[in-house]
Amino acid sequence: MTEVVVPIGPHHPALKEPVNFKVVADGETIVRLELDVSYNHRGIEKAAEQRDFVRVVPLLERVCGICSHSHTTVFVKGIEEAMKVQIPPRAQYIRTIVAELERIHSHLLWFGVAAHEIGFNTLFMWTWRDREAVQDMLEEMTGNRVNYGINEVGGVRRDLTPEQIQAALKRLPHLEDRIAKYRDMVNKEATMMIRFRGVGKLSKDDILKLGAVGPTARASGVDYDIRKDDPYIAYADVPWQVITDTHGDVYGRTLVRIGELQQSLQIVRYCLENLPAGPIKITTPRAAPRGEILSRYEAPRGELVHFIRTNNTDKVERLDIRTPTLANWTSVAVSLVHQNLADIPVIVAAIDPCLSCTSRITIVNERGKKTGEMTWDELSAHGREFYRKRGRA
Amino acid sequence: MTLSQRLANWARMKSPWITLFNSGACNACDIEVIAALTPRFDVERFGILAKGSPRHADILIVTGPVTRKQAPRLRRIWEQMPEPKYVIAMGACGAFGGVFRGLYHVVDGVENVIPVDVFVAGCPPRPDEVINAVVACLGLLKEDLARGGKEWRAKKTKVIERVEAKEGAQPAPAKPSEAST
Amino acid sequence: MDPILLAVYILLFPGFLFLLAYAFFFQFLDRKIAARMQARVGPPLLQPFADFVKMLGKEVIDVKGMDRKAFDAAPLLALAAVMTAFLYVPIVGNSPLAFQGDLILVLYLLTLPTIVLFLLGWLSRNVFATIGGVRAVTQMFIYEVPFFLALLTPALMAGSWSITDIVAWQQSHLWFAVLQPIGFVVALIGLQAKLERTPFDIPEAETEIVAGPWTELTGRRLAMMRLTMDVSMVVGSALVAALFLGGPRIPWTITPDWLSWIVGFGLFFVKTLGVLLVLASIKVATGRLRIDQLNDVGWKYLASAAILQVLIVLLMNYWWVSA
Amino acid sequence: MSELLKVEQVAKAMEGLGTVDAMKPNRIRVATTPAKVKEAVQRALKDLKCDHVVQIAAVDNGKSFELIYNLTGPHHTVVSILLELPRDKPEVPTASDLLPPAGLYERQIHDLLGIVFVGHPNLKRIILNEDWPENEFPMRKDWKPNPNTFYGGVHTEEAK
């Protein structure tokens, strides 16, 4: 079968995100793959340098619609650290609640989209229906279903009333048994097992070598979780533990995400039940002293890093955002070679790419079959050396 | 209007098929459009189906401020769609670029790339507002069919441009305007 | 039958007009069942008809360098093939056009849409469509053999190649669904694969290759091809109902002629809806297989089950019928 | 979970490469020169058991460019390697052979700031669109979008 170049995306029903794969497939197996994701670059970092701390938060809220709270929390936490200011515990708890609710809705969303990738639409409909309960909670607490806008430098903008807390607590049990149902469905349902097991497998040292983060890394046994390694807001005093798995394939990542869903529900329940009293924000100075902060945060997709350089004005001198999906692209590109054409959406969905966070391109070329002129790239250099070693090992 | 004409109009009103195009959005609008397909809002009861290929779709929902790289692709997707087609620009980004207006890699709004029929307010608009936008598109479809095609709408907007030209207001520049401080 | 009654039979009642209406009703029911199972409300009754008329009214786009005539003719060919197949399936009593071997003709006519899909994929000069077309044919090779075996074993036991005779045979014996359960299951799975529904909708895999062979179809071509798929769903389930569930006949005969027709039609209606319910729940309950996984499943399980069923039937024929 | 690295440990591993100072209990910075960056990264990977590159940050502070390589490992301490590059000829040897994900981060920095990574196998455009004019680096402090160059997107007359 001759080589066929299949362009998938940027307009593609499976990937709700503008990513473009130029896949050279021999029959059904992928020989070479070009992944172009730079459709979403908007120049946010440049704009952030021209906005003061009050006006930059709405901009950072919209770096990515699904993990919007992550970007504002990591930025605001960094600025508060630069100003050496401590926000009241109630604000920290409220931030944790909204952060974990965002993780729940993001993981449920991912689970539905992953099921949709393999054509299993029923699970897509069910998970997104349960996600509506989380959206209602978020809407009651923060006023908006997505892009909550609850963070600001020095604390939180809205307080939680007792009725909201009771309403949220009433919804948690239903979510808990739904997620328990999904957990054993993943282990029992035949087509999901066939399509998820052994697909896009990455061993532990692959992950460490390729720098993958978040559930993708934890599914191969790497137990990096910023909430544990470098605790921030209220994670230090909330009882929870890191979920890891050893399968390393799409199935393993699904299990890790379902485990994290259950952990997040526990955290939200704990924070709601013993929400400390007190003010929800403090007045902060207009300008941040000169300094350099590396603010890290565990977004639903992995480790999100904001590098903030402040120069005692009310604007940021430099904001460098490294998003979790950017770190995961290298590993997904390498794991895609040799897989089937039909597996691309599943494997890519497995890292739950949030394209609006990242916009980068990787080219992976597996030296096996030479297809026309060789495209130059550091990953192909890495890919060749990686596969030659694997071939010999 | 002959019977077959009425039947065709009835059928077009009853089965608007949509396709979604993410032109560099923060994908909050995308998940709200997809949420409209799911059980709570369930657009299939109005006959609305989300189709993969632009060839099968009647309404193109564009989310996000069109980034410079996505603009030519958006243009090509729009041209691939068969006639009676309509475009919905989602949220503040679709209208004028929203919070990303003036950034160096953004073309400030869907209007500068393809003609837009319906704008939806909100950031992101709620799923029921998305359904409302599709219904508004159907309203436009009904009027277009009654007056034979889209030309009558062009005349109406012509008036606005003339008024604007008189007052010397500068139409939205496609070039990157000075990054707003 | 005198020609006028035959013409009415073919064109109006159990013929084309009824078939089109029933096909739309089937699509509505299928989408409604699937929606209700997914906790959704599902489309209104006339939705498939509205979709069909709207698609007819859409602009037809021809890809540059495409063979227009062939691209127009292919959907019509598939539709014609599938509609003629419907005439040989007994609906109201025995079908007037029955002859020895009409089962083989119906099976042949039912495979034409898949070949037309491959042709469409090849003609539309689009890489997604070509891959979709290739997948459609690969999938056909996988499920066709077990599907034919499963549908031919009733003929073996009933001793005749005409569907009407098989239905008549079942009137005096047990239904084949009871006598040949393995064949019944293989036939249902084969039908699901032939109609390219979810566990087997690999050619039209919406999430991988946009819409497979359907990508470049627009306007009336899309309408015709969509209608072909609905009609083949009706014909397929009617065929399985006739061969395995006893068709429109009940064991004891009813004296007045017109009453037995009505009861026959009622039975046909109930049995085909039963088959549709099974197909819809399979579609809702499973995800999509990959083409190579389908290859293993198809040859390992489906084919061996069908062959086992043939062996059992031959043994039963040897002992039971001759004794 | 193994406890944090001490400043002395990092100083011992990195002696001869540059000054070491602890910004925070779990973040230690090593200021070094572009020539020794490969050596510093290698030592961080081997002696300090870092196995995960958190981020490569690039800053244009008006006078010169700064590159900060942040690495971490099971000890959960971030080892930051800081370098200063002259504004006229910003060149630094690539770290993508030691850290595969660095390949991406370096290409993004090259696109936005114009820092050349010597030895990088494929320093092609990664983040800006195809018809963005060559050697215009948007993240530089002195860059302003001048109205009459075409930065990509659709030509205005085609859009109407």
Rounded mean pLDDT, A320-333: 81
User: What is the SS3 assignment for A332?
Assistant: helix
State the smallest CA–CA distance between residue A210 and chain D in angstroms: 6
- ipTM score of complex: 0.87
Q: Which residues of D95-116 are buried (b: 16+ CB within 10 A; e: fewer)?
A: bbbebbbbbbbbbbbbbbbbbe
* pLDDT reading at B181 higher than 60: no
Q: Taking CB atoms and an 8 Å limit, are C290 and A190 in contact across chains?
A: no
Share of chain C above pLDDT 90, in %: 35
Share of chain D above pLDDT 90, in %: 1
Q: Taking CB atoms and an 8 Å limit, are C35 and B44 in contact across chains?
A: yes
Residues of B whose CB is below 8 A from A109:
31
The minimal CB distance from D159 to the residues B105, B174, B178 is found for B174
More confident residue, C123 or D130: C123
Chains in touch with C (3+ beta-carbon pairs under 8 Å) read: A, B
A13 touches chain C (CB under 8 A): yes
A360 contacts D112 by C-beta, under 8 angstroms: no
Candidates A297, A298, A214, A305; CA nearest to A256 is A214
Residues of B whose CB is below 8 A from C57:
8, 11-12, 84
The minimal CB distance from B24 to the residues A16, A39, A124 is found for A39
Q: Is position D128 within any domain?
A: yes
Least confident piece of the model among A175-179, A242-246, B170-174, D3-7? B170-174
Region class of C134: left (phi > 0), else alpha (psi between -120 and 50), else beta: alpha
Least confident piece of the model among C60-74, C115-129, C240-254, C304-318? C240-254
Return mean pLDDT, chain D.
82
Q: Taking CB atoms and an 8 Å limit, are D120 and A45 in contact across chains?
A: no
Q: Is position D148 within any domain?
A: yes
B181 touches chain D (CB under 8 A): no
Identify the residue whose tokens are 């770096």: A63
Domains detected in chain A:
3-40+348-392 (no CATH), 44-322 (1.10.645.10)
Chains in touch with A (3+ beta-carbon pairs under 8 Å) read: B, C, D
Rounded mean pLDDT, A260-282: 92
Q: Is position D75 within any domain?
A: yes
Rounded mean pLDDT, D53-70: 88
* pLDDT reading at A93 higher than 90: yes
A45 contacts A311 by C-beta, under 8 angstroms: no
Q: Which residues of A87-119 are buried (b: 16+ CB within 10 A; e: fewer)?
A: bbbbbbbbbbbbbbbbbbbbbbbbbbbbbbbbb
Rounded Cα–Cα distance for residues C42 and C24 (Å): 15
Q: How confident is the model at residue C104 (pLDDT cuts 50, 70, 90)?
A: very high
Domain assignments of chain B as residue spans, ordered by start = 3-148, 150-181
The minimal CB distance from A58 to the residues B20, B30, B99 is found for B99
Q: Taking CB atoms and an 8 Å limit, are A122 and C289 in contact across chains?
A: no
Q: Taking CB atoms and an 8 Å limit, are B75 and D138 in contact across chains?
A: no
For B81, nearest residue in chain C (alpha carbons):
C61
User: What is the SS3 assignment for A179?
Assistant: helix
Residues of A whose CB is below 8 A from D96:
378, 382
Q: Taking CB atoms and an 8 Å limit, are D151 and B72 in contact across chains?
A: no
The minimal CB distance from D129 to the residues B68, B114, B179 is found for B68
Q: Taking CB atoms and an 8 Å limit, are B24 and A68 in contact across chains?
A: no
Rounded mean pLDDT, B24-53: 86
The amino acid sitting at B165 is A
Q: Is position D1 within any domain?
A: no
Q: Taking CB atoms and an 8 Å limit, are A126 and C38 in contact across chains?
A: yes
pTM value is 0.87
A12 touches chain C (CB under 8 A): yes
What is the domain count for chain D?
1
More confident residue, D148 or A59: A59
The minimal CB distance from B179 to the residues A50, A112, A131 is found for A50
What is the H or E stretch that residue A120 is in?
none
For C90-99, how does the pLDDT look when each residue is reduced to its tens digit (9 = 90+)? Answer: 887 777 888 8
For C32-70, how does the pLDDT look when each residue is reduced to its tens digit (9 = 90+)? Answer: 999 999 888 889 999 999 999 999 988 888 888 888 888
Chain D contacts to B (CB-CB under 8 A): 128-130, 132, 138, 144-145, 147-148, 151-154, 156, 158-160
DSSP per residue, C137-194: HHHHHHHHHHHHHHHHHHHHHHT-S-HHHHHHHHHHS--HHHH-HHHHHHHHHHHHHH
* pLDDT reading at C30 higher than 50: yes
For D68, nearest residue in chain A (alpha carbons):
A307
For A215-227, how does the pLDDT look when each residue is reduced to its tens digit (9 = 90+)? Answer: 888 998 888 888 8
Least confident piece of the model among A125-134, A316-325, D17-26? D17-26
Rounded Cα–Cα distance for residues C263 and C30 (Å): 24
Least confident piece of the model among A166-170, B2-6, B45-49, D8-12? D8-12
Residues of C whose CB is below 8 A from B76:
none
* pLDDT reading at B175 higher than 50: no
Q: Is position D70 within any domain?
A: yes
pLDDT at C240: 92
C124 contacts C63 by C-beta, under 8 angstroms: yes
The answer for residues whose C-beta is within 8 angstroms of residue B4's C-beta and 6 or more apart is none
Q: How confident is the model at residue C232 (pLDDT cuts 50, 70, 90)?
A: very high
For A95-140, how does the pLDDT look when each residue is reduced to its tens digit (9 = 90+)? Answer: 999 999 999 999 998 898 888 888 888 899 999 999 999 999 999 9
Rounded mean pLDDT, C190-207: 81
The set of long-range contacts for A184-188, using a CB threshold of 8 Å and a minimum separation of 24, is: A185/A123, A186/A251, A186/A254, A186/A255, A186/A258
Q: Taking CB atoms and an 8 Å limit, are A10 and B54 in contact across chains?
A: no
More confident residue, A382 or D98: D98
The minimal CB distance from B45 to the residues C43, C50, C58 is found for C43
Q: Is position D21 within any domain?
A: yes
Q: Taking CB atoms and an 8 Å limit, are A44 and B38 in contact across chains?
A: no
Our measurement of the distance from residue C58's CA atom to the centroid of its chain's CA atoms, rounded to an integer in Å, reads 27
Residues of D whose CB is below 8 A from B113:
153-154, 159
Residues of A whose CB is below 8 A from D136:
none
Write the DSSP symbol of residue B60.
E
* pLDDT reading at A267 higher than 70: yes
Q: Taking CB atoms and an 8 Å limit, are A378 and D103 in contact across chains?
A: yes
A119 touches chain C (CB under 8 A): yes
* pLDDT reading at C297 higher than 50: yes
State the smallest CA–CA distance between residue D59 and chain A in angstroms: 6
Rounded Cα–Cα distance for residues B67 and C223 (Å): 36
State the smallest CA–CA distance between residue C210 and chain A in angstroms: 6
Q: How confident is the model at residue D41 (pLDDT cuts 50, 70, 90)?
A: confident
Rounded Cα–Cα distance for residues A182 and A351 (Å): 19
B3-148 carries CATH number 3.40.50.2300: no
Rounded Cα–Cα distance for residues C178 and B83 (Å): 53
Chain D contacts to A (CB-CB under 8 A): 1, 23, 26-27, 51-55, 57-61, 68, 70, 72, 76, 78, 80, 94, 96-97, 99-101, 103-105, 107-108, 112, 120-122, 124, 126-129, 138-139
Phi–psi pair at A209, nearest 5 degrees: -65, -40
Look up the CATH number of the domain holding residue D145.
Answer: 3.30.460.80
**What domain range includes position D118?**
7-159
pLDDT at A121: 87
Residues of B whose CB is below 8 A from A64:
26-27
Q: How confident is the model at residue B144 (pLDDT cuts 50, 70, 90)?
A: confident
Residue A282, both tokens: 């403090």
Peptide bond into A285 cis (omega under 30): no
For A27-40, how does the pLDDT look when each residue is reduced to its tens digit (9 = 90+)? Answer: 667 766 666 666 67
More confident residue, A13 or B63: B63
Q: How confident is the model at residue A5 (pLDDT cuts 50, 70, 90)?
A: low
* pLDDT reading at C79 higher than 90: yes
For A141-184, how does the pLDDT look when each residue is reduced to its tens digit (9 = 90+)? Answer: 998 888 888 999 888 999 999 999 999 999 999 999 999 999 99
For D138, nearest residue in chain B (alpha carbons):
B104
Residue D104, both tokens: 């991406």
**In whole angstroms, how far apart are CA A232 and each of A117, B52, C264, D78?**
35, 42, 73, 15
